[in-house]
Amino acid sequence: MRGVTGVKAVVAIAAISLSVVACSVDGDAVRVPDLTGRIVDASAFPFGAATPVPAAQTANALADITFTPLRAENDPADCTPAPVDAADAQIRVGPGGAAGGTLTVALTRTSDSFGDHLDLLRRCADFALGGTVGTRVSTDVLATADDTVESARTLSNGGTPYTRVYELTAQRGHVRLYVQNRFPATAQLGDAERAATRTLFDTAYDTAFGR
pLDDT in tens, the chain (211 residues): 554 333 333 333 333 233 333 333 444 444 456 899 999 999 999 999 999 999 999 999 999 999 999 999 999 999 999 999 999 999 999 999 999 999 999 999 999 999 999 999 999 999 999 999 999 999 999 999 999 999 999 999 999 999 999 999 999 999 999 999 999 999 999 999 999 999 999 999 999 998 6
Residue 33, pLDDT score: 63
DSSP code, position 10: H
Residue 29, pLDDT score: 45
* pTM (two decimals): 0.85
C-alpha–C-alpha distance, residues 139 and 133, integer Å: 19
Q: Where are the beta strands (DSSP E) in 96-147?
A: 102-110, 126-128, 135-145
Residue 34, pLDDT score: 84
C-alpha–C-alpha distance, residues 182 and 184, integer Å: 7
pLDDT in tens, 41-50: 999 999 999 9
C-alpha–C-alpha distance, residues 156 and 28, integer Å: 48
CA 59 to each of CA 53, 62, 176: distance values in angstroms, whole numbers, following the listed order: 10, 5, 15
C-beta of residue 107 within 8 angstroms of C-beta of residue 200: no
Residue 27, pLDDT score: 46
CA 101 to each of CA 63, 94, 182, 207: distance values in angstroms, whole numbers, following the listed order: 18, 9, 5, 24
Residue 5, pLDDT score: 33
